[in-house]
Amino acid sequence: MLLQIPNVLSPEQVQACRTALIQTEWADGKITAGYQSGKAKHNLQLSEDNPIAREWSALILKALEQHQLFIAAALPLKIFPPLFNCYQGGGHFGLHVDNAIRDIRAEGFGPVVDRVRTDISATLFLSEPEEYEGGELLIEDTYGAKSVKLPAGHMILYPSTSLHKVNPVTQGARIASFFWIQSLVRDDAQRTVLFDLDQSIQHLTLATPDHPSLVQLTGVYHNLLRMWSNA
């Protein structure tokens, strides 16, 4: 499932985040890449133990906790703390698949305290589309490559199994946050069924709140979640 999540951050939060990020020190983006993806990755990134990155990572996680569309789509069990990158001056990321497992470390590069299986990849855009040229996120799925370039504060979710790349940024700067989610439901097709069913229940509840099928449909949703969940 490829899904846009709007308004994760407000315009005021985006501006405050960007103001903080541009005042801190960026490093080579290869620091979090695996062997194969490292050869294709050409961007800048904030270190995981950067205090500004940690502060805004926590704020993004708090925002996601309150975003019902994100919860319904991702069914998050664990979320890797959001990271931040910047593409400029021709920076790009060639075609790759994200690492299957990400280690969460104490104080950035300390001992491993948890691991996240990357079921879902997320990119939260912090630059407006008109601020840079190029920089489209291209995601390959069953129906071909999808080009994604969203307004600041909006986020895209897509299966971490997908081949994807970031086109070169030829002018301006593309700043974004990126991270991964381990879902309660590992299989993308099953998550899609649950999401579609959840949205149908929500729409039916608004249109006809006393519809007799609502209880039955809600039961079907929870029974499927119970069947498919790996929590």
Task: Please state the residue numbers annotated as binding site for Fe cation.
Answer: 96, 98, 164
Q: Is residue 217 a contact partner of residue 197, using CB atoms and an 8 Å limit?
A: yes
- The percent helix, strand, coil of the chain (3-state, each to 5) is 35, 35, 30
Classified as helix, coil or strand, 176 is strand
Annotated binding site: 96, 98, 164, 174
Question: What is the amino acid identity at position 205?
Answer: T
Residue 81's alpha-carbon distances to 48, 63, 95, in angstroms, are 9, 13, 23
Question: What is the amino acid identity at position 185?
Answer: V
Other Cβ atoms closer than 10 A to 42: 17
Annotated binding site for 2-oxoglutarate: 174
